Amino acid sequence: MVECARIAVLVSGGGTNLQALIDAQGRGEIPHGEIVLVVSNRRGAYALERASEAGIESAVVSRADYADAQAQEEALIALLEEREIDLIVLAGFLLILSERFTKRFEGRIINIHPSLIPSFCGEGMYGLKVHEAALAAGVKLTGATVHFVNEIPDGGEIIAQKAVEVREGDTPEVLQQRVMEEAEWILLPRAVEAVASSLA
């Protein structure tokens, strides 16, 4: 049991969901957790700038620096354990984690996905691809899902979902922005607090 869960946010790109978490933390909406580390698998990810501006430690664990994917993952595990991380949040992290990794941190890794799982999810479904698929299918509702992470991409237990209307004339980019604003940025901080409080 921990008084305040030490949170690591794993990112690959711009870090809009990271920013939503930083802002929520600033508003006191995650009282049972504190973001203490941001890790990217890509150098130059703008999310690292966001971490720096918020005074949060950041690190890069890039595939280019390791002999193979397993060595990269071992370095990530070592970093998370060294920093005594209690909760891992995947926020646009485009690396598939192995079963070895997910078992090691079982019940302590959550992910945000920009659809209502089980729709438009699984390996290869990320970013705009998800919204393109939703529009191609003609659905009237999409949204976002926060779920626990296991060895199956987007296959872990669902924590929370929020629906978002698909409107006539939506492009993937417009839909992506609406899903972020109306679902992801609201849902993720709430889910992080819920899981952090269960660890505390």
Q: Is the pLDDT of residue 1 over 70?
A: no
Look at strands 141-148 and 87-90 and give their pairing.
Answer: unpaired
Q: What domains, with CATH codes, occur in the chain?
A: 5-199 (3.40.50.170)
113 catalytically annotated? yes
Residue 196's pLDDT band (boundaries 50, 70, 90)? very high
Which is catalytic among the residues 32, 113, 131, 147? 113
Query: Looking up tokens 């130059």, which residue turns up?
Result: 44
% of the chain exceeding 90 in pLDDT: 96
Q: What is the 3-state secondary structure (H, E, C) of the chain?
A: CCCCEEEEEEECCCCHHHHHHHHHHHCCCCCCEEEEEEEECCCCCHHHHHHHHCCCEEEECCHHHCCCHHHHHHHHHHHHHHCCCCEEEECCCCCCCCHHHHHHCCCCEEEEECCCCCCCCCCCCCCHHHHHHHHHHCCCEEEEEEEECCCCCCCCCEEEEEEEECCCCCCHHHHHHHHHHHHHHHHHHHHHHHHHHHHC
Burial class (CB in 10 A: 0-12, 13-18, 19+), 1: exposed
Summarize pLDDT for 96-152 with one digit per residue, the tens. 899 999 999 999 999 999 999 999 999 999 999 999 999 999 999 999 999 999 999
Q: Give strand pairing partners of 161.
A: 145
pLDDT for residue 3 = 80
Question: What's the token pair of residue 163?
Answer: 């629906």
Residue 200's pLDDT band (boundaries 50, 70, 90)? confident
The CA-CA-CA angle for residues 162, 46, 88, to 5°, reads 50
pLDDT for residue 2 = 59
Summarize pLDDT for 25-44 with one digit per residue, the tens. 999 999 999 999 999 999 99
